[in-house]
Amino acid sequence: MDTIYDSIETAARDLYIRALKDIPQDVRDALARTLKVERAGGNRTAERVMLTIVENIQTADERDALVCQDTGLPVFKVRIGTKLNLDIARLKDCLRKGCERATKEYPLRSNTVHPLTRKHTGTNTGEGIPVIKLEFVPGSDTIDLHMAPKGSGSENTSFLKMLNPADGQKGVKQFVLQCIFDSGARPCPPMIVGIGLGGTSDVAMQLAKEASTFRRIGSSNPDPDVAELERDLLDKINQTGIGPQGLGGTTTAMAVHIEWAHTHISQNPVAVNIQCWRGERAEAVISADGTVTHSSRVQANATL
């Protein structure tokens, strides 16, 4: 079993670095579409902003460099097969060590500080960091490891409100749009807007993070009512005119993703978590024998 723990640690290190260097293909496609929309709309400022973003990614590809200086806080979603007999405490320790190795060996800028003293850890780890969400998959004997470095520019534009049930969908839309206006250019639009509906206050925030961070652009929630709300909000957000980098334009958001849970009869929690245009994430599958398979970007129909 030592082999699989070694693989988890090394995969965590590699995914952290890869997520910062290789923008996912669905994000690249969405950015390319945004460039075309802004060019067709005749907004030269928005077009120049999008050209700069596209060139930034291309330069990072050519130089094998980080796309942005903000290396974020490491966030992991780990889907564990129930056929694996894993020590969860050891698994978490391996993820932490992988982040520390990435920070030291690449090296990466470290961002993690004490919330009161602001004393720096220097490792991109610390109390409660990395953030780790565990899920269990019946009948599987693999580990699906998903990693996203969550930068502060977009993380600072996070919101929660406990709506009354009587506020209905109108109240949800009003709250989300107010969050977008309050955020302005801070989350580096064109953004990915993650929304969590229902559950309890903490569950709503977790759902919003899942929606903004791990959903692929172009996907829809399987619930038809929720999917319709996603489309409606995306349309309304893009009518705000905030545009790329807040300088005006047609595209303020590339996607609105909503995740939901059932909630109490007398409450309706709504959370918003925004992801900047980079949409950084990476994933790998670890087999029971420790073999690591990294997912690759789909090159067919690639636009960047």
Percent of the chain with pLDDT over 90: 95
Dihedral sign (CA 146, 273, 96, 65): positive
The 10s digit of each residue's pLDDT in 90-116 is 999 999 999 999 999 999 999 999 999
Q: What is the pLDDT of residue 298?
A: 55
Q: What is the pLDDT of residue 95?
A: 98
Pairing of strands 143-150, 292-294: unpaired
Confidence check: pLDDT of 142 > 70: yes
CA distance 19 to 146: 10
What's the mean pLDDT in 132-150?
98
Range 23-58 burial, b when 16+ CB lie within 10 A, else e:
bbbbbbbbbbbbbebbeeeebeebbebbeebbebbe
The 10s digit of each residue's pLDDT in 7-58 is 999 999 999 999 999 999 999 999 999 999 999 999 999 999 999 999 999 9
The 10s digit of each residue's pLDDT in 233-288 is 999 999 999 999 999 999 999 999 999 999 999 999 999 999 999 999 999 999 99
Confidence check: pLDDT of 304 > 80: no
Q: What is the pLDDT of residue 301?
A: 42
Question: What is the model's pTM?
Answer: 0.95
Q: In what order do the strands lie in the sheet with 282-286?
A: 131-137, 73-81, 143-150, 282-286, 292-294
Q: What is the pLDDT of residue 111?
A: 96
SS3 per residue for 104-124: HHCCCCCCCECCCCCCECCCC
Q: What is the pLDDT of residue 179?
A: 98
Amino acid at 237: I
Domains and CATH numbers, the chain: 2-21+67-151+280-294 (3.30.1330), 153-275 (no CATH)
